[in-house]
Amino acid sequence: MTTTSAPRSAPRSVPRRNALRALAVAVALVGTSTPAFGSAAFAAGPETYTLTIKHLDRAGQPAGKYRTHVSGVFEAGGEEFLEQQDASGVTTVRLPKGRYLLDSTLPADQGAGGPAWTDWIVQPRLDLDRDTTVTVDARTTAPVDVRPPDGNARFLQSSMFVEVTHEGVTKSANVGNRSTNLRVGHLGPETEAGAVKQWYDAHWATDTGGYLLGQTFSGTRALTGLTRQYSTQELATLNIRGAAGPGSTGTALLGVLPSNGTVAGAPRVMKTPGTATFLVAPERGTWDIAVTVPGANDAAPTYYSADRIAVRAGTTTTHTFDGPVFGPALTDRPAVSRDGDRITANVPLLADGDGHVPWTPSFDTAYTSLYRDGVLVGAESGAAGRGEFTVPPGKASYRLATTVTRKAATGATARVNASWTFASATTTGPTALPVSVVRFSPELSLTGTAAAGSPLRIPVTVQGAAADGRTRSVTVSASTDGGASWTRLPLEAGAVTVQNPPAGTGVSLRAELTDADGNTLDQTITDAYRTQ
């Protein structure tokens, strides 16, 4: 991943939100409000009142169409969904006493061939303590006009969510639109300070990616209209690169969404190898990326995600997915742990070159074994880097070995071998065991290749127990004959340099490490990358 700043002289344009999450929440928006949770009818209560809701269109006449959502913002508060019943535009419902969130969607047709509008009116505070009449009037709305700096960008969809909190209970409502013709308005009294949170997100497409524009609001009222025309300098750039093996092509499915708040996504596609560029709104907070790449050799697709990516206006952040060097990586959860006398291994062995760990890695064979004082405890196959083993109580020396293979036709990394030694004793609860991995991060093409006959600098990073200055020793070696022979490489300033062999050759990498406590790692990546 790289981050760079855009030049300050960038021209200003004139006039316009645990992946997995990004693709999973993508929905089809049809211009109507939908509940954030399943509908639940209100339980009959001892104290109920009649709520009458009148719906008026933009001409002040009874609305021909409407859909109204009423949600109780209190413990055991349920939801009611009310649609047009007759031409009067009036509906009634009997509800228990309490605080309610009301939102109403009124679609408006501007005539034959004209643009279709959606009016969304939100009353974040409806205190029902008597028979009450509410008038939902489309004439009280104002346009939502949020646009990118590129006048040629194509609008895809927008979504707006509102959350209302009262005495520890939160309820929500939302609207989505496939056209830019959205108008919104606040109804009723103000709430307590900060009780209303609201998000707006708009997705625009370009030939190279698109714009992801969004804003967040907090206060006492729902929005009445929203106008914002972004300049290029106000946006951050996310470059998403999809790799593919030499001579292969495919289509990746992308999702890019804000990390915070609720949003409906608009999935995109990207040819691989290739790059998609998105300009995103920094005020929307951090961003999540989800990528599903096609499998090689008829294998199942592979899913990656990168979460909570910090962005800043004028900077460019690049993430490359599914490119080498594939190898072990450690995340924020323990890769190897012991609970009592149960040792569990779950080591990601095929993280891509940027360190993205696939949810469903593609491989052919996998085998993991555990030895205690040199004696085999057990072995498991079929799951890369995974195994669960029951061991005798007490302290002992252990060696955990794991290997995963995949067809070399995937372009890089035909096999990963890793072996760790460490001491361990019975624990009173889940305890991380001291393992480390070494990451190799050369700059490679999107086909996972490097120039033949040229020197290649390969940054070397230690993760795990030996990180942060706790490495006693580490050596790195390279092989150009599939591991039959190895050449040790000097480690200088956190990197080694390989003199690349002729075109079409695979380069294998090996690391041998000892941490400050004497725990060891022996790690080999066969065909880490190839020359071209």
In a domain, 219, yes or no: yes
pLDDT at 36 over 70: no
pLDDT at 446 over 70: yes
Asked whether the beta carbons of 327 and 525 are under 8 A apart, the reply is: yes
Quick check: helix, strand or coil at residue 57?
coil
| C-alpha neighbours within 13 Å on the C-beta side of residue 37 | 13
| Separation of alpha carbons 509 and 529, rounded Å | 9
Long-range own/partner contacts, residues 403-408 (CB < 8 A, 24 or more apart): 403/365, 403/366, 403/367, 403/368, 404/349, 404/350, 404/361, 404/363, 404/365, 404/366, 404/367, 405/363, 405/364, 405/365, 405/366, 406/350, 406/362, 406/363, 406/364, 407/296, 407/297, 407/364, 408/506, 408/527
> Span 102-119, mean pLDDT?
76
Name the pLDDT band for 398 (thresholds 50, 70, 90).
very high
Residues 301 and 444 in one domain: no
pLDDT at 467 over 50: yes
Asked whether the beta carbons of 388 and 382 are under 8 A apart, the reply is: no
- Of the three residues 321, 351, 371, the one that is the final residue of a domain is 321
In a domain, 329, yes or no: no
Residues 198 and 212 in one domain: yes
Question: What is the model's pLDDT at position 300?
Answer: 79
Residues 154 and 187 in one domain: yes
Report in angstroms the alpha-carbon separations of 198 from 67, 162, 187, 216, 357: 20, 4, 15, 6, 33
> Span 188-206, mean pLDDT?
97
Asked whether the beta carbons of 344 and 387 are under 8 A apart, the reply is: yes
Residues 347 and 400 in one domain: yes
In a domain, 327, yes or no: no
Q: DSSP letter at 406?
A: -
Q: CATH number, domain at 199? A: 2.60.40.1120
Look up the domain containing 304 and give its range. 2-7+233-321
In a domain, 15, yes or no: no
Residues 89 and 160 in one domain: yes
In a domain, 331, yes or no: no
- Of the three residues 200, 229, 258, the one that is the final residue of a domain is 229
> Span 97-111, mean pLDDT?
86
Residue 205: what residue type?
A
Asked whether the beta carbons of 119 and 166 are under 8 A apart, the reply is: no
Residues 237 and 253 in one domain: yes
Residues 242 and 279 in one domain: yes
In a domain, 12, yes or no: no
Question: What is the model's pLDDT at position 261?
Answer: 85
Q: In what order do the strands lie in the sheet with 67-72?
A: 79-83, 67-72, 98-109, 116-128, 182-186, 142-147, 226-229
Number of H-type helices and E-type strands within the chain? 1, 39
Q: CATH number, domain at 307? A: 2.60.40
Residues 367 and 316 in one domain: no
Question: What is the model's pLDDT at position 513?
Answer: 98
**Token pair of 420, please?**
């760790």
In a domain, 328, yes or no: no
Mean pLDDT across the chain, nearest whole number?
89
Lowest mean pLDDT: which of 5-14, 453-462, 504-513? 5-14
Number of domains into which the chain is organized = 3
Residues 52 and 137 in one domain: yes
Residues 133 and 256 in one domain: no
| Separation of alpha carbons 127 and 100, rounded Å | 6
The radius of gyration of the chain's CA atoms, rounded to the nearest angstrom, is 29
Long-range own/partner contacts, residues 493-498 (CB < 8 A, 24 or more apart): 494/459, 494/460, 494/461, 495/457, 495/458, 495/459, 495/460, 496/457, 496/458, 496/460, 497/455, 497/456, 497/457, 497/458, 498/455, 498/456, 498/458
Residue-wise pLDDT tens digits, 341-382: 999 999 999 999 999 999 888 899 999 999 999 999 999 999
Residue 323: what residue type?
G
Kindly report the number of other CB atoms within 10 A of residue 374's CB atom: 9
Question: What is the model's pLDDT at position 411?
Answer: 57
In a domain, 14, yes or no: no
Residue 356: what residue type?
H
Hey, what's the torsion of the CAs at 216, 218, 222, 226, to 10 degrees?
-40
Residues 224 and 237 in one domain: no
Name the pLDDT band for 108 (thresholds 50, 70, 90).
confident
Q: What is the pTM of this model?
A: 0.86
- Of the three residues 321, 349, 374, the one that is the final residue of a domain is 321
Quick check: helix, strand or coil at residue 515?
strand
Residues 177 and 286 in one domain: no
| Separation of alpha carbons 141 and 118, rounded Å | 10
pLDDT at 517 over 50: yes
Name the pLDDT band for 25 (thresholds 50, 70, 90).
very low
pLDDT at 339 over 50: yes
